[in-house]
Amino acid sequence: MVLKDIWSWLRKDRINRDILKTSLALLYNAAYALFNLILAWSYQSEWYLMMAMFLFPLCIMRFLLLLEWKKNGENNCRPDILHVSGFIMLFLVLVMASIVYVTSIQQVTEGHGEIVMITIATYTFTKLGFAIARTIKDKKNSRSFSKVIRDISYAELAASMLSLQRTMIISFGNENHEWAYMMNIISGSAACLFIAAIGISMISYRRDKDEIENRRSK
């Protein structure tokens, strides 16, 4: 009976469905961040530690967005939400740059096992599928809240793809080879630029909306 009532509630209200999906995504991403923290402790790896440091702020951002959404609704989120999120993204570029730096100096000669690689691969491809689906679904959705959620997903995907690449190199090759070193530097730099572009687009998007609203008010 309870499950039936919950299902009816979700079917009637799109906002409730979206909140539930975002909450589940938050739990999924928080679990992956915790997984990286466990790997950092198990393997004494600075790489996984900084990856967790990159992912946890994104989880906190998504949690605060959920609180804002439930409190004020999707159309009444605070106007500065994009601005603040954009600057947080730019800060995370520094964390990503530190991850790339660790890649260039940390010598790793042993793989971390098939379970670790399969877990990272599963998370990465799941995030890729969700990101594509959300992009298609929200193609015409210009609401600030939806944009921030999409951009957080893109940043998480960039970090997980970088982690998957490094894990595969460690497991199937030799990270100390010059080609592996170059791949890590190139893909890491691309991830930094991508996340920086996300942060800048958030800030510029907010300014554009302010200008449009000012013109309408006049």
Helix axes 144-172, 81-105, angle to 10 degrees: 10
pLDDT over 90, % of the chain: 19
Residue 31 reports pLDDT greater than 50: yes
Q: Residue ranges of the domains in the chain?
A: 2-217
Q: Is 127 a residue whose pLDDT tops 80?
A: yes
Q: DSSP letter string over 143-156?
A: -HHHHHHHHHHHHH
The structure tokens listed for 8 are 């009816």
- Beta-carbon contacts of 134 under 8 Å, excluding residues fewer than 6 positions away, are 149, 150, 153
What per-residue confidence (pLDDT) applies to 109? 44
Quick check: pTM over 0.85?
no
What crossing angle do the helices spanning 178-217 and 144-172 adopt, rounded to 10°? 180
Is a pLDDT exceeding 70 seen at residue 17? no
DSSP state of 108: -
Q: Mean per-residue pLDDT for 93-111?
A: 73
Confidence category of residue 68, pLDDT binned at 50, 70, 90 = confident
Please state the rounded mean pLDDT for residues 116-142. Answer: 82
At residue 206, the pLDDT reads: 59
Give the whole-angstrom CA distance, residue 205 versus residue 35: 33
Provide mean pLDDT across the span 76-95. Answer: 81
CB 153 within 8 A of CB 131: yes
**Weakest mean pLDDT among 36-40, 102-106, 196-200:** 102-106
Classify residue 105 by burial, with Cβ atoms within 10 Å: 0-12, 13-18, 19+: exposed
How far, CA to CA in Å, does 139 sit from each of 54, 68, 134, 184, 199?
A: 27, 23, 8, 32, 19
Average pLDDT, the chain: 77
Mean pLDDT computed over 110-127: 80
Phi-psi region of 107 (alpha: psi -120 to 50; beta: other; left: phi over 0): beta
- Closest listed residue to residue 154, CA positions, set 134, 140, 136: 134
pLDDT the model gives residue 2: 39
Which of 18-32, 117-131, 141-155 is predicted least confidently? 141-155
- DSSP state letter for 45: -
Give the pLDDT of residue 76. 56
Confidence category of residue 174, pLDDT binned at 50, 70, 90: low
In the predicted model, what is the mean pLDDT of residues 105-127?
Answer: 75
**What would the pLDDT profile of 185-194 be if each residue is shown by its tens digit?**
888 899 999 9
d(CA 200, CA 89): 8
For the segment 20-33, the average pLDDT, to the nearest whole number, is 87
